[in-house]
Amino acid sequence: MKNITLSVDEETYRQARIAAAERNTTVSALVRNYLRTLARPGTGETDPAQALFSALDRAQGFRAADRMTRDQAHGR
């Protein structure tokens, strides 16, 4: 395994430490997993934003006008 060194500002590092702690992992593991997804698209964790846009692209025939009215949604 190769080691890399990178520099980030204090706030970015603080936020990364918080994110890692919330996921019960390390900043190194977060960076490693992120780089792995960049190196091998289509494997590993999916970017939530990309997944959303992909789903919207696949939703053929969707029109906002086809949605229920407010009264229909609330059974009034």
Domain extents in the chain: 10-73
8 or 53: which leads in pLDDT: 8
C-alpha distances out from residue 21 to 12, 41, 51, 69, 70, Å: 14, 26, 24, 43, 41
Over the stretch 35-60, which tens digit does the pLDDT of each residue have?
887 777 665 556 677 776 777 677 66
Query: CA-to-CA distance for 48 and 44, rounded, in angstroms?
Result: 12
Looking at every residue in the chain, the average pLDDT score rounds to 79
